[in-house]
Amino acid sequence: MKTSTLMMVAERAGVSTATVARVLKGKGYVSEDARSRVETALRETRYRPNAMARGLRQQRSFTVGHMLTAITANPFFVNVAHWAEEEALVHGYKTFLFNHNGMAERERLGVEHFIERRVDAVLFTNAVDPANVRLLQAAAIPVVQLERVALAEAPAIVVDNRVGALQAMRHLIELGHHRIAFMGGDPSLIAPYGKHVPSVEQERLGAYRDALAAAGLEQPEGAVRLGRYYNIEDGGSGIEGYRHMKDLLALASRPTAIFATCDILAAGALQAIYEAGLRVPDDISLIGFDDTIGMNLTPALTTVAQPMQELGRAGFRAALAAIEERTLDAAPPLASRLVLRRSTAPAR
């Protein structure tokens, strides 16, 4: 049985479509008699409004597109997407996900899909190419960037990576660690666009250096390892962290603590340490970033949590504001924060 139309409901109830529409929206005058007839007709036909017809008529789809970077490689994106969707649902919207896997052409394809579907706004949890963001703006579709900004001119909800990173470093320092290594994203590699804003990578690395300096500690030679967080193609394997850690372990004077600015990096580091027959946190302390797979690692990882829920929710709300043409005052960055688990201990 195909889904029925407003017209069919109207006929069955012996009224016009306008009357059915009135009871559906609960506004406008309808006699008790008509109302009840319509209501039973609605039930009997199992009427479900046709979102395409409605969208066409109202010139909005009640859908927002959400462009993601690496849904299979890093759970971070799934989480942000999940919470954005949750918030969207509350407001009667649905989200449409699209994964670009770090490829600009792919992102372009997604953007065109979004335009064709006439989404009411688009969330980018990481745009790769600012040109794609502009494409949307040219089509008069509001855009909100989450976590990272690719196009400085477009609104964004970002995270204060510095607070959490500083907490992490202070924690390590308080535990008495003097030789602390860093592994993370290479600022020059990861943020080719939007150099104007301090990038996520700059914030994290900066916090590491500043905390060290504030404590009068040296940055151990060869202890800052920069690169990518993971390869999207291999499904987020941690191999990068594994390699960094191998090198770190081979250092003349081995670090006693590591600050890895991604849980996936930390996962690889953990494997290298284990292979070397060392124990975390007994021999080496380790802190991650994001709070994604950290809780499932061995030992459970102390990590800097990103506010994924707030990112998603605030992201959608910002999009909604834009859709409704309300101006939203630029929100301050959301805080990151240290989550203590079992991968850190006093230096020996």
Partner DNA sequence: TTGTAAGCGTTATCAG
Partner DNA sequence: CTGATAACGCTTACAA
Nearer to DNA (CB atom), residue 140 or residue 252: 140
Binding residue for its own copies, selected from 85, 87, 107, 129, defined by CB under 8 A: 85
What is the Cα–Cα distance from 126 to 136, expressed in whole angstroms? 15
What is the closest distance, in whole angstroms, from the C-beta atom of residue 224 to its own copies in the complex? Answer: 23
- Tokens 């080496």 appear where? 284
What is the Cα–Cα distance from 146 to 152, expressed in whole angstroms? 12
What is the closest distance, in whole angstroms, from the C-beta atom of residue 324 to its own copies in the complex? Answer: 17
Name the binder of 314 from DNA, its own copies, none, CB < 5-8 A by kind: none
> Does residue 319 belong to the site contacting its own copies (CB under 8 A)?
no
Both tokens of 226, joined, read 């920069």
> Does residue 278 belong to the site contacting its own copies (CB under 8 A)?
no
The one-character DSSP state at 198 is P
What is the closest distance, in whole angstroms, from the C-beta atom of residue 62 to DNA in the complex? Answer: 10
Contact region with its own copies (CB under 8 A), list: 20-28, 30-38, 69-77, 167-175: 69-77
> Does residue 90 belong to the site contacting its own copies (CB under 8 A)?
no
Q: By three-state DSSP, how is residue 33 classified? A: helix
Name the binder of 140 from its own copies, DNA, none, CB < 5-8 A by kind: its own copies
CB atoms within 10 A of CB 295: 12
> Does residue 246 belong to the site contacting its own copies (CB under 8 A)?
no
Nearer to DNA (CB atom), residue 60 or residue 108: 60
> Does residue 346 belong to the site contacting its own copies (CB under 8 A)?
no
Contact by Cβ (8 Å): 249, 225: no
Name the binder of 117 from DNA, its own copies, none, CB < 5-8 A by kind: its own copies
Pick from 266, 313, 315: nearest CA to 287: 266
Nearer to its own copies (CB atom), residue 52 or residue 330: 52
> Does residue 235 belong to the site contacting its own copies (CB under 8 A)?
yes
Binding residue for its own copies, selected from 8, 197, 300, 328, defined by CB under 8 A: 300
What is the Cα–Cα distance from 338 to 175, expressed in whole angstroms? 15
Binding residue for its own copies, selected from 126, 161, 199, 271, defined by CB under 8 A: 271
Per the rule left: phi > 0, alpha: psi between -120 and 50, beta: everything else, 298 is beta
Instruction: Please tell me the count of residues contacting its own copies according to CB under 8 A.
Output: 51
Contact by Cβ (8 Å): 97, 72: no
Binding residue for its own copies, selected from 7, 48, 174, 250, defined by CB under 8 A: 48
> Does residue 108 belong to the site contacting its own copies (CB under 8 A)?
no
Pick from 180, 252, 249: nearest CA to 210: 180
Classify residue 110 as exposed, middle or buried by CB count within 10 Å of its CB (0-12, 13-18, 19+): buried
Pick from 63, 70, 13: nearest CA to 38: 13
Which amino acid does the sequence have at 211? A
Pick from 155, 177, 165, 145: nearest CA to 208: 165
Binding site for DNA (CB under 7 A): 5-7, 14-19, 21-22, 24-25, 28-31, 33-35, 47-50, 53-54, 56-59
> Does residue 321 belong to the site contacting its own copies (CB under 8 A)?
no
> Does residue 131 belong to the site contacting its own copies (CB under 8 A)?
no
